[in-house]
Structure 1
Amino acid sequence: MNELLKNLGVIVLLIGVIILAVPAISGGMSNTILLTGLGIIILGYIGHIVINKRLG
């Protein structure tokens, strides 16, 4: 459980990348998708730092 929690930020970051990659491949880009993907990537990055500071 602790190992999953340490990797939670990276998992959220990868979800953000997938949100950006799927519409880029299919050709359906919009500003909403771009902002959502960016927000999730930033959230995952900050979450990774905070979680590893508290657990590590």
Structure 2
Amino acid sequence: MGTILLLISLLCVAVGTWKLIGIYKTGKADSKPVWWTVASAGIVLFFLLKLMTDTFPT
């Protein structure tokens, strides 16, 4: 379960950051909030996973 959460969080951060860089380079303001949310969700998932592994070691 931890590996899946880690991969999902890394994917969210990578895709969100990639899209945000593209949006800022082109100067469009189409979907900034969506990609900020995706990147932020990836960061939150990562810290949630870290908190879960520190609290409940296997």
Scaled to the shorter chain, the TM-score interval is: 0.5 to 0.7
User: Is the 1:7–1:48 contact (alpha carbons within 8 Å) kept by the matching residues of 2?
Assistant: no
Structure 2, unaligned runs of 5 or more: 54-58
| Structure possessing the higher radius of gyration over alpha carbons | 2
Q: Equivalent residues in 2 for 1:1-56 (5 A)?
A: 3=3, 5-25=5-25, 27-30=26-29, 32-54=30-52, 56=53
Aligned length: 53
Are the equivalent residues in 1 in contact too, given 2:2–2:49 (CA < 8 A)?
no
Q: Relative CO higher for 1 or 2, CA cutoff 8 Å, sep ≥ 6?
A: 1
- Using the size of structure 2 for normalisation, the TM-score is 0.63
- TM-score with structure 1 length normalisation? 0.64
Evaluate the alpha carbon distance shift between residue 52 and residue 7 of structure 1 in structure 2; reply closer, same or farther with a 3 A threshold.
farther
What is the CA-CA distance between 1:51 and the residue it aligns to?
1.9
RMSD of the alignment, in Å? 2.2
